[in-house]
Chain A
Amino acid sequence: MTRNILAPLTLGLVLLFLIGPFIIIVAASFSAGETLAFPPQGFSFKWIAKVFTVESFRQSFGTSLFLAIGGTLAALILGIPAAYAMSRYRLPGAETVRFMVSLPIVVPGIVVGLALLRYFVIPAGVPILLALFLAHTALILPYAVRVVSASLANLRSDMEEAAVILGASRIGAFVRVVLPNIRGGILAAFILGFVTSFNQVPVSLFLSGPGVRTLPIDMLGYMEIVFDPSIAALSSLLAFLSIGIVLLAERFLGFSRYV
């Protein structure tokens, strides 16, 4: 009898813990009041509207978008051939490469950010945007390699051999047979990389400088000065954007198969 109550109760608490903060933020974004507070005072769209008028948000959104798209594309361009080579050939040191490629997942972002700043950006005089781009590419790379590897593992190599016997070159077989069959995995990797980059804070924190900030860093900075519900409004917008992308991906690709 007690078990019958305990299970749904536990589930409810876990859900509350996971979704509660999100509900609070969303509720706060529709507040009519002047400060970030919960429960919200009144109801209005004014803070949602305000988000679009803040110049620094618009700029940092552009920066974040550029980093998320550019970084993910770069990571895929590096990651797809790497994953392919590791899955098809028994390369010497493949395990080492696999390990190194996974490091950014394990090493705390703070350490990566600080190390990049102290030993790369400052001594080499690398422009900040380029440093951010490289850092994001490196951060996304492990996800790209993993997700693409997973879909390559399901693809039998004899298909490529069949293509070669029918007259295709090795590269031709890759383009005509391998790529079309892993396009779901590639799109999944793209979405995962995009969201990872877009939400990235610790590394970007160290590498943001005058004039160049990612959106999350800009939001942190904004909150230190202004404490109005527009931050909640922006957070909600971003959350719904992410959810929308993932839902679309799930709908059309079965995204959850890949992650």
Chain B
Amino acid sequence: MSFLRLDGLTLAYGKTPAVEGLNLDIHRGELIALLGPSGCGKTTTMRAIAGLMPVRAGQITLDGRDITRVAANRREVGLVFQSYALFPHLTVFENVAFGLRLKGMSGKALEDKVMAAIASVGLTPFAQRKTPDMSGGQQQRVALARSMVMEPKVLMLDEPLSNLDARLRLEMRTELQRVQKKTGLTMIFVTHDQIEALALADRIVVMRNGAIEQIGTPEDIYNRPESAFVADFVGFETIFALKDGAMVTKGEPVPVPDAPAGAAALAWRPRAVTFGEGRFEGTVLSSSFAGSAREYLLDTPLGPVKAEVDAALPAHDLGATVRFDLPVATAAALRRAE
């Protein structure tokens, strides 16, 4: 039974549609990543779940209750904004205490609970600081503590890692995972970075143009993308559509007699392309060294092809002619060619 259910959710800004007919079932305690390019409707979907955005059509059910028309301040849903949205006139303590005070909590009980939340994000020494004096990573932790202390049924985070530098990002990633495992909180986080989604989520929801493109475990999404869009997003760089048993290429169609049944396209990661031998020939357009591997971009009669080989092998110069192959055995079969 699903804990949070979006049923035909349709959202719009004025006459501009933003999300159309979105269906999603999330289980209690799940960590869900909303993954997709900028503008695909991730923030809009979260705002609707939080009650900040009117629902045009469809239904939102949380813990057995229809909350589609419930006011935002009665939803028991947490949202950590991309900008954190801390209250600059209040201290860290008062930011975290804000929601509890509105619930009528006060005195020792309030103080204990707030300080525990502040401690859980490692900010105890900063409790009396004003939030504008803190670093981005610290502000983020305050925002997290402020939402978590309310014990929401669902905690949503909008691009929680995008404003942090590389080191902090990794640290925060671990932190989020730890918090989620410890509290068993149902969490949804937004990202446009596939690595983050793959590393953190129980399930990934890939969105495109206001609709869901694919839902699956990180393994599903990474190894078995259903469409060219998802494949491209998770690093399949060479994709050809299939038509009448042949790959549609820039030049002549290439027959693929052993294509899996029902496949609409075939996709290869650079690793999956056979390099140095095979049926096809291309010239090296560019090559880049990436530590243990070397990546070649080939100009071929089929179209551009990206291949990756062991860096220990001798390098090919720009303009060199090399043979390659696209074995069906190493390809992902896509159900949709778009």
On whether the beta carbons of B73 and A181 are closer than 8 Å, the reply is no
Partner among B72, B83, B103 whose Cβ is within 8 Å of the Cβ of A164: B72
State which of A94-102, A165-173, A212-220 sits at the interface with chain B: A165-173
**B87 lies within 8 A of A168 (CB):** no
- Verify A159–B99 contact, CB threshold 8 A: no
Residue of A nearest to B99 (CB): A166
Count contacts on A: residues with CB < 8 A to the other chain.
Answer: 17
Check B85–A166 contact: CB distance below 8 A: no
Q: Is B88 within 8 A of A166, CB to CB?
A: no
Residues of A within 8 A of B50 (CB): 161, 165
Q: A166-B146, A180-B89 are in contact. Are A156 and B77 (CB under 8 A)?
A: no
Known A-B contacts A169-B73, A172-B102; A164 and B52 likewise in contact (beta carbons under 8 Å): yes
Tally of contact residues, B, Cβ under 8 A:
23
Residues of A within 8 A of B85 (CB): 156, 158-159, 161-162
Residues of A within 8 A of B73 (CB): 164-169
* Whole-angstrom CA separation of A156 from B89 in the bound complex: 13
Verify B77–A168 contact, CB threshold 8 A. Answer: no
Determine if B89 and A162 form an interchain contact, defined as CB atoms under 8 angstroms apart: no
Q: How far is the CA of A181 from the CA of B89 in the complex (A)?
A: 7
The CB with the most chain B CB atoms within 10 A, among A161, A166, A169, is that of A166
B190 → chain A closest CB, angstroms: 14
Interface residues of B in 51-86 (CB under 8 A from A): 51-52, 72-73, 75, 77-79, 81, 83, 85-86
- Interface check A177, CB cutoff 8 A: yes
CB distance from B6 to the nearest CB of A (A): 18
Say whether, besides A159-B85, A180-B89, A168 and B52 are in contact (CB < 8 Å): no
Interface residue B98 (Cβ < 8 Å from any Cβ of A): yes
Contact A167 B52 (CB under 8 A): no
B83 touches A158 (CB 8 A): yes
Q: Nearest-CB distance from A142 to chain B (Å)? A: 27
A181, B86: Cα distance in complex, Å? 12
For the residues of A in contact with B, the DSSP-based class is: helix
Q: With a CB–CB cut-off of 8 A, which chain B residues contact A164? A: 52, 72-73
CB nearest neighbor in A for B47: A161
Given that A158-B83, A162-B79 are known contacts, is A167 also in contact with B88, CB under 8 Å in the complex?
Answer: no
Name the A residues within 8 Å of B146 (CB-CB).
Answer: 162, 166
Known contacts A156-B83, A161-B52, A162-B81; A167/B102 CB under 8 A: yes
A112 within 8 A of partner (CB)? no
Asked if residues A168 and B83 are in contact (CB atoms below 8 Å), the reply is: no
| B residues less than 8 Å from A181 (CB atoms) | 87-89
Contact A163 B87 (CB under 8 A): yes
Which residues on the B side are within 8 Å of A176 (C-beta)?
98
Question: How far apart are B216's CB and chain A's nearest CB, in angstroms?
Answer: 29
| Closest A residue to B149 using CB positions | A166
| Mask: chain A, 174-213; 1 = CB below 8 Å from B; 0 = not | 0011001100000000000000000000000000000000
**Whole-angstrom CA separation of A172 from B50 in the bound complex:** 18
Taking the closest CB of chain B, its distance from the CB of A177, in whole angstroms, is 6
Contact between B52 and A166, CB atoms less than 8 A apart: no
When the two chains form the complex, which single residue of A156, A165, A167 contacts B103, counting CB atoms closer than 8 Å? A167
B residues near A161, Cβ cutoff 8 Å: 50, 52, 72, 79, 81, 85
The A-contacting residues of B in range 88-125, CB under 8 angstroms, are: 88-89, 98-99, 102-103
The answer to whether the Cβ of B150 comes within 8 Å of any Cβ in the partner chain is yes
When C-beta atoms are compared, the residue in chain A nearest to B79 turns out to be A165
| Most chain A beta-carbon neighbours within 10 Å: one of B73, B77, B83 | B73
User: A166 and B98: CB pair below 8 A?
Assistant: yes
Return chain A residues, CB-CB under 8 Å to B86: 159, 162
**How long is the Cα–Cα vector from A176 to B72 in the complex, in angstroms?**
17
Q: What are the residues of chain A within 8 A of B51 when measuring CB–CB?
A: 165
A167–B87 Cα distance when bound, in Å, is 15
Q: Within the assembled complex, what's the spacing in Å between the Cα atoms of A177 and B95?
A: 11
Given contacts A158-B85, A159-B85, A181-B88, contact A168 B78 (CB under 8 A): no
Nearest CB in chain A: distance from B53 CB, A: 10
Which 9 pairs show the lowest CB-CB distances between chains A and B? A166-B99, A162-B85, A158-B85, A167-B102, A180-B89, A164-B72, A167-B73, A159-B85, A158-B81
- Sample 30 A-B pairs with CB under 8 A, ordered by A number: A156-B83, A158-B81, A159-B87, A159-B88, A161-B50, A161-B79, A161-B85, A162-B79, A162-B146, A163-B87, A165-B52, A165-B72, A165-B73, A165-B77, A165-B78, A165-B79, A166-B98, A166-B99, A166-B102, A166-B146, A167-B73, A167-B99, A167-B102, A167-B103, A167-B150, A177-B87, A180-B89, A181-B87, A181-B88, A181-B89
Binding site for A on B (CB under 8 A): 50-52, 72-73, 75, 77-79, 81, 83, 85-89, 98-99, 102-103, 146-147, 150
Q: A162-B146, A177-B87 are in contact. List 17 more A-B contacts (CB 8 A).
A: A159-B87, A162-B79, A162-B85, A162-B86, A164-B73, A165-B72, A165-B75, A165-B77, A165-B147, A166-B73, A166-B98, A166-B99, A166-B146, A167-B102, A168-B102, A169-B73, A172-B102
